[in-house]
Structure 1
Amino acid sequence: MQPQDMRRRSNRRGFTHRQQYGQRITHTRPEAGGNRNTERYALRAAQAYADPNDPAWAFGDQAGSHANLAIARVASGDLDAAAEALAPVLDLPADQRINGIIHSVRRVHQAITRAGHAGDARDLIDGIEHFTHTPANALPR
């Protein structure tokens, strides 16, 4: 699907520009290397969700955009930049670690291992595993 086709489809569905970037990322498959625009779209999506005071902001969408950016950076071999992109997500408190965010973070883990970078990204993998294994008793009641 070409970018102009995505824009037309997104605009018809009433997506915000943030969601349009997210849709572009979904269709370029950052974990498979996507295309040369993948990291650019992922960065724009992450930047678009940077303002928590914006009425359209959602912490889950922001976390997903950071995970997509991390995946795109893993695909390009830039593990330090991937860790930087995922850091705000890994810092989320336990009560914000909803299923969708955990799934997004697990996709980063999968991208690292599938790309053969597990040995070079041990700290990032450890952070991801800690994040996704938060015990239920750590969650507020």
Structure 2
Amino acid sequence: MSSAFTTIRTRWVACLILCGVLGTVRAEKPPTVGEGQLGAPISWQACGDNPGSLCMLQKTRDSVLYLTPNESFFPERGLVAAGLGQVPDLENLNSGKSFAWIEKWDAGDTTEWVWFAPQAGEGTITLWMSAKSSGGTFSMSMDNKTVSFSVNSG
């Protein structure tokens, strides 16, 4: 299952939100160190619209950004990052743990990934996943654009 989402970036900061109804969400093939930003050093960089704002960032090596459970935020309690991931926890940001999937989804649950684009341009977001149970509805939002799609695992 994949769905493409293309947008023109005009600001530096964007927040991607994934909402869904599933028991567990997992990548079909776990990304590994050396792909995208995974395993790249974390550094403090200027970011945002306010002068002097600093953010911890990882730069992608190949213009691909992997949004994994390790980089996600859960704005409300309920979702859980689980499983043994393959990407080391740099800077001990996840208490030394690496996660493979997000579970305990209920209707309306949200997970967020914050990412920074150094310049305006186009990008494509593709979601790959498999689920323990068939079905689910998701939406991906960025700025004022939203794409919704259904998921059915064979």
TM-score when normalising by structure 1: 0.28
TM-score when normalising by structure 2: 0.27
